[in-house]
Amino acid sequence: MFFLIILFINGLCIAQHTNKVIATLNKEINEFTIQQEIEYVNKSQDTLNLIYLNDWANAYANKNTALAKRFAEEFKKGLHLAKDEERGNTKIVSTVDDDYRGLDWGYAPGKDIIKIILNRPLLPHASTKIFITYKVKLPSDKFTTYGYNNRGGYYLKDWYLTPAVYDGSWHLYSNKNLEDLYTDMANTSIELVIPENLNAVSNFHELSKNIAGNLQHIYFQGTQQKSGEIIISPTKNFVKHVTPELTILTDLRSPRYDEISSGISINRVSKYIYENLGDFPHKHLLVSELDYNKDPLYGINQLPRFIRPYEEQFQFEMKFLKTALNSFIKETMFLDTRNEKWVTDAILNYLMIGFVEEYYPDQKLLGKLSSIWGIRSFHLAKMNFNEQYPLLHMLSARRNVDQSLTTPNDSLIKFNQKIANRYKAGLGLAYLADYTGKEHVDRSVKEFYINYRLKPSTAADFKFIVVENSDKDINWFFDEYVSTTSKIDFKIKKVQKLEDSLVVTLKNKEGTNVPISLFGIKNDTVVSSYWFRNIAEEQTFTIPKSGEDRLVLNYDQTIPEFNQRDNWKSLNGFFSSNKKLKFQFFKDAEDPYYNQVFYVPVLGFNKYDGLSPGMRLHNKTLLERPFVFDIAPTYAPNEKTFVGYGKFNFRHYHGTSGLYVTNYSLRGSTSHFQENSRYSTLSPSIGFGWKPSNLLLNKREALILRSISVFRDIDPNLQTLGLETDPDYNVLNAKYYNTTNNIINYLSWSVDAQYSNKFTKLAYELEYRKLFENNRQFNLRFFAGKFIRNETAGNTDFFSFALDRPTDYLFDYDYLGRSEGSGIYSQQIIVAEGGFKSKLENPFANDWMATVNTSVNIWRWIELYGDLGVVKNKGTKERVVYDSGIRLNLLTDYFELYLPLYSNNGWEISQPQYDQKIRFVITFSPRTLTGLFTRKWF
């Protein structure tokens, strides 16, 4: 029997890949020379003629790798613009088999996976050895935190070659900065050769260390582990904590939290992980500040330290818990990290939720800020800490960019990958625990960990355990909640009171077949609770009376419900069921028990109105909602009257791709376009939006149909000067947009059709931006416009195409001085229609116009621009126009300066009053500026 056990253990050892790595650091060039012996075991039933190795260090090699393309999708151009010495790469010196015969190899398309052709077939359960010598040039840590830093330290992760997974098919996943390297477990030994003045810690066990000359040789051993992670620094930052449950190496600290208290907190977290998962099978757990910074606690705790709202103990424990759980699960669970990451996300965030429930049940989302006057009245201040999970998940769902939990990790938009899907996964297990009983889900999580620790596993294995441990039918969880983006939305349609019972009719507004909870509330205390299932459309239930004065669906917020504004019914009569009006400053989370109206002081400006203070009233909460109103009356001191705008918008989402949204809108505004001359606009519109199923493409299409009615009250003194046209007019406008937004290749084009009783016109506009490999950016814009009919030709140019400064008769542009022909306000330019920067004679076209605007950067944000066009007026011959100059592209579309050099006017730079020829682009709109940041997440 003993002999059989020995054979079994040896069989397990043989079944593992083995790695022997000798890595020597050249500190001068931040490069490792690596000699690696890989014993690859064919664990499949197939004969292999080739194998694949992950070479994620080569992902930094150039601008065409999968990592570089991912950064482009996220509007990060650091790697694209990097200097050669900042990049990382792998250079293979030699590759031979165990007979010392050379092996043919090459890179897969992502440039970070190596294909090695074997010299002889590898039979099932057989093994082969490969000897590879190569050099790894480490990248700067400014791209992903991995590589070398400017303090003489190194963070080594996914830095040497590891076997890709084959289970009947190859799982080849490129490095996309998603923390999801998928590699088989292996027994790995690393001999690290570094200068003697450096310190190194690893997730592997340190066997020994010796000094030879001015170098130290550190030997690490990883048994049944993935790749080795090593942190090298000039100082000793890591402390070993030995707890009853596991040994921890960590450099996580809080400046205001002493070492003894930190140790107590680490013990608490260790015990919690052990009780909910089980033993850690390795020598120690590495919990580093670098790992935390890579995946922090998103939310209010990311505020600057001096306004941190939480107690130091809570802040430290949550930070430590998340980082420790991340490392714990990563080191022990072997799921497909690219396609089934939702399982580990669910376990991690479920345990995070449980920790707060157990140790900090009264913790508020805003922490200490919740008790401050002026803040405590906000609904956000009354929310518990764990309510951030449905809030942040719903931030994505309400924008209609949510993605199912089964979406591959590299197909998720950044916000979903980092926050929303992770929170939805953890919240899903909490939802399941609430429905089936917490003990069932706790047992399932622990059982899954114990059964599949250090073993390959799948989401199907997790599902089997969860279903087996439940005494209720929970297939809905996997079929509806996990696998789809179907929204959960119920309402209490009506309640009938009987002598000893209540007859409640519930409506399933979305048709998603999941359970819903109903609570009876009396004086803000729960007196009864029920679960209801299989409500296809609507269903009536009878429940006993328990003294309730209100019935509320999903009262404990464990269900990520799409809309909670209709989740309650008062039992005290009709008038008590009506929501009260609540005025609040600025913005707040959605409070389902009130009709919220927010007020915000605003300050507008243009030359004629002056600085115009006012009050903006709106109902926009932190979460997007279908119907939005936004009204902002302001007082114009120069004109001693009121101006402002009002918007009413209803948005209806149809799905997540194709024709996904319809917008119905009514907008109006009034302001002054000249002294004592007011304009007012009224514009009803309907818009349709399309997007592809792959949200990472950043492609959008839209069709907007609108009617713009303009009413003008013109100063009689200006009318005597022959001011343009009839004061009132109406234009019907249809415009189609097609935009693909990418930092490397940007392409946008549109077709615009306008009709009024005076004219009919068509216009086409195309804009293209290209960032080349030599870091030159080329911008091209093309515009062509043609009047089909123009009854104003020869009388006025008010409706004509303009070369450099459109008249903006639809009042779409934010001109600071729209009627100015000279002075600083006239130098503002909005690149539209002709897009010229120089002021040329006869800049209008009442027949047709075609222009090309180009620019190319010569150094950073300094560019050369050139415009060329043809202008045609009725009754005259077409003429060629041109200009050129320097563009200071400080922030594209937001803040730019144009310095004319040469045009039809001649050498403008040598002409008098040159400062009046300089043009500028400036944007003050908060919403426009916010787009700079949200585009990276959504």
Q: What are the tens digits of pLDDT across the range 405-427?
A: 999 999 999 999 999 999 999 99
CB 625 within 8 Å of CB 619: yes
Residue 579 has pLDDT above 90, yes or no: no
Residue 3 has pLDDT above 50, yes or no: no
Question: Does 387 map to a domain?
Answer: no
In the chain, what percentage of residues exceed pLDDT 70?
95
| pLDDT, mean of residues 56-70 | 94
Boundary (domain end) residue, out of 278, 296, 329: 329
Distance CA 228, CA 189 (A): 9
Same domain? 247 vs 220? no
Same domain? 822 vs 912? yes
Distance CA 700, CA 689 (A): 7
Task: Say how many domains are in the chain.
Answer: 4
Same domain? 198 vs 76? yes
H or E, element range at 129: strand 127-137
Whichever domain contains 510, its CATH number is 2.60.40.10
Residue 7 has pLDDT above 70, yes or no: no
Distances (CA, A) of 268 to 222, 271, 272: 27, 5, 6
The pLDDT of residue 576 is 56
Question: Does 61 map to a domain?
Answer: yes
Q: Which residue from 563, 577, 593 is spatially nearest to 379, judged by alpha carbons?
A: 593
Same domain? 811 vs 766? yes
The pLDDT of residue 933 is 59
Residue 2 has pLDDT above 60, yes or no: no
Same domain? 231 vs 243? no
Structural domain containing residue 290: 238-307+319-329
| pLDDT, mean of residues 691-710 | 94
Backbone angles phi, psi at 344, to 5 degrees: -70, -35
Render pLDDT for 277-298 as a digit per residue (tens, 0 to 9).
999 999 999 999 999 999 998 8
Same domain? 179 vs 267? no
Same domain? 170 vs 251? no
Boundary (domain end) residue, out of 177, 207, 235: 235
Render pLDDT for 183-223 as a digit per residue (tens, 0 to 9).
988 999 999 999 999 999 999 999 999 999 899 999 999 99
Q: Which residue from 445, 300, 264 is spatially nearest to 380, judged by alpha carbons?
A: 300
Question: Does 833 map to a domain?
Answer: yes
Same domain? 282 vs 213? no
Render pLDDT for 553-568 as a digit per residue (tens, 0 to 9).
999 888 999 998 889 8
Same domain? 231 vs 246? no
The pLDDT of residue 5 is 36
The DSSP-derived string for 374-416 is TTTTSHHHHSBGGGHHHHHHHHHHHTT----TTS-GGGS-HHI
Question: Does 901 map to a domain?
Answer: yes
Question: Does 372 map to a domain?
Answer: no
Look up tokens 């550190």; give the residue: 218
Question: Does 861 map to a domain?
Answer: yes
Render pLDDT for 220-245 as a digit per residue (tens, 0 to 9).
999 999 999 999 999 999 999 999 99
Residue 247 has pLDDT above 60, yes or no: yes
Boundary (domain end) residue, out of 175, 203, 235: 235
Residue 892 has pLDDT above 90, yes or no: no
The pLDDT of residue 927 is 59
Same domain? 161 vs 185? yes
Whichever domain contains 83, its CATH number is 2.60.40.1730
Same domain? 258 vs 231? no
Q: Is the pTM of this model over 0.85?
A: yes
Residues sharing a CB contact under 8 Å with residue 745, sequence separation 6 or more, in sequence order: 768, 769, 770, 771
Residue 6 has pLDDT above 50, yes or no: no
The pLDDT of residue 430 is 96
Distance CA 782, CA 771 (A): 18
The pLDDT of residue 12 is 40
The pLDDT of residue 74 is 87
Question: Does 539 map to a domain?
Answer: yes
pLDDT interval class at 721 (50, 70, 90): very low
Distance CA 233, CA 148 (A): 10
Same domain? 934 vs 844? yes
CB 229 within 8 Å of CB 157: yes
Question: Does 292 map to a domain?
Answer: yes
> Helix 421-436 and helix 438-452: axis angle, to 10°?
120
